[in-house]
Amino acid sequence: MGMKSCVFGMAVTVTVLMMGEASWALQAGGVEVGDLESGSVVGQRFKELSVDLDIHATEIGGLKVLYPPMSVLDLKSRPGTPVLVRVTNRSTNERGFLMTASANQAAPTVLNVQLVLKPGETKYIGIPTSDLLYAAGATFVYRDHLNPKDAGGTLLLIK
């Protein structure tokens, strides 16, 4: 009985340590939201980075959509520079933007970006590469949290 408890205790310790490293990595830099001139992420100013993903909140035939509905980002061929996402509201109404690793995950380490944009407004989101590389899975969803029934999109990462 004592040996089983010891082995179980060691397994739990290893699991906690592994989770601790992953959690640390996901929180290593943190996601930053701002404008092009003053925003920065992990010490790099937004205006020094290339835009990796350009998302538009727009209306097509009376439907509110986020365009493009599908995006692919190859992390294998890029250096460790942060990912920069530009979100522009081209609608006449206030729009929301929510991007998360999974719609059903709620851990504090899950990538979860949420913002509100006024008509015509553009905001930039800087994401440390480590936050994407160490995230569980390779699919992120984005949608308008103010209009949850409207079409959103998917970001697929190649890790």
- pLDDT on residue 111: 78
Mean pLDDT for back-to-back runs of 10 residues, the chain (159 residues): 48 37 42 92 92 94 91 86 95 93 61 92 93 78 92 91
CA 72/CA 139 separation, integer angstroms: 9
* DSSP annotation of 151: B
Residue from 111, 100, 110, 109 nearest 145 by CA: 100
- Domain borders along the chain are 2-158
pTM check: above 0.85: no
Q: How far is CA 14 from CA 6, 20, 65, in A?
A: 12, 10, 44
Residue with tokens 């350009």: 54
- pLDDT on residue 18: 36
Domain 2-158 in CATH 2.60.40.420? The answer is yes
Token pair recorded at residue 76: 């294998």
Residue from 57, 31, 72 nearest 152 by CA: 57
Residue with tokens 């082995």: 7
